[in-house]
Amino acid sequence: MNIKTISVIGAGSVGGFYGAMLQKAGYNVQFFSNYLKSGLLTIKSVWGDFQINISVYNDTKQMELSDLIIITTKVYTDIPYLSLLEPILKPNSIVLFLQNGINQEENFKAQLSKNQKLKKYDLMILGGLAFTCINRISSREIHHLDYGAIKIGSLDKKNHNYAKEVSKLFTNAGIQSESVLNLRKARWEKLLWNIAFNTLSVIGHNVTTDVIVNSKNSLFLAENLMKEILFIAEKEKNSPGRKKIQEMIDKTIKMKPYKTSMLIDYENHKPLEIEAIIGEPLKLAKKYKLDTPYLKFCYHLLKFLDEQNQKK
């Protein structure tokens, strides 16, 4: 696998940080972003501070063809991924969805199969989960506060070697990374944290992670949200295991006080990733005929809060 040019699509805090790390390691990285700006980007990280000059575009038609495309956009249903990626695709490009939520890779593959022009491409579809605390301070500064490991898997298990190679690429750039054979299971694992802490950070009246883990009441809600995610994952036989609930809580207790990505979006009156993080699991719960009252309540409350927030 010969990766020379890497494109980061939707670069904000996560895409900006990991893209900068890859560029620092010597890769040719180009950024598509509405947030970052070309020029000097300052990274303040628990892994070491640095500055680097980056190239940012607002039109993929101006970008080079890419060997590896890392998608770090927020997960919204109206993003036209195919038309966005088409100008930079090679017939054998690797597309890595480094996002929250579940079903992104499956939905992309379904869109690809319906596209007469692109379905002939032998695209390798990977998924990635970033277990990290990163905030974008401005268009020219990103803070990496804690953790940072990435898990990478292939949508099709027979292509696991590609996940292994991309994971090595991240590791060689100084990013803690590992490949996983079961991508679906890894996505459910990441959802355990997102479903609890992203959700409660907003509906708990704009609170950071330390506030949530220091209250018996919010911990009760967090645990029950995570249990319902496990019910769905267990039905699929992709459960990361019941022990992961306490593991997620313990990691969050040790974490520096952190504003979740959903809370930051809420404070900036941006749309929330409700469908990817809660909506998709709810659809699966309905499909499997599972009762998930905590998920359902939080979904509708978040939708209401988001509607009101968009009017401000």
Looking at the annotation, which residues are catalytic?
190
Structure tokens at 109: 């593959």
Asked whether 14 and 72 are in contact (CB, 8 A), the reply is: yes
Phi and psi of 59, rounded to 5°? -145, 120
CA–CA separation, 108 vs 112, rounded Å? 6
Kind of pairing, strands 68-71 and 94-98? parallel
Taken as a whole, the chain contains a residue count of: 312
- Using the 8-state DSSP alphabet, how is residue 194 labeled? I
Q: Exposed, middle or buried, 165 (CB in 10 Å: 0-12/13-18/19+)?
A: middle
> Among 262, 94, 255, which Cα is nearest to 179's?
94
DSSP 91-138: TT-EEEEE-SSSSHHHHHHHHHHH-TTTTTS-PEEEEEEEEEEEEEEE
Q: Which residue has the tokens 């109206």?
A: 78
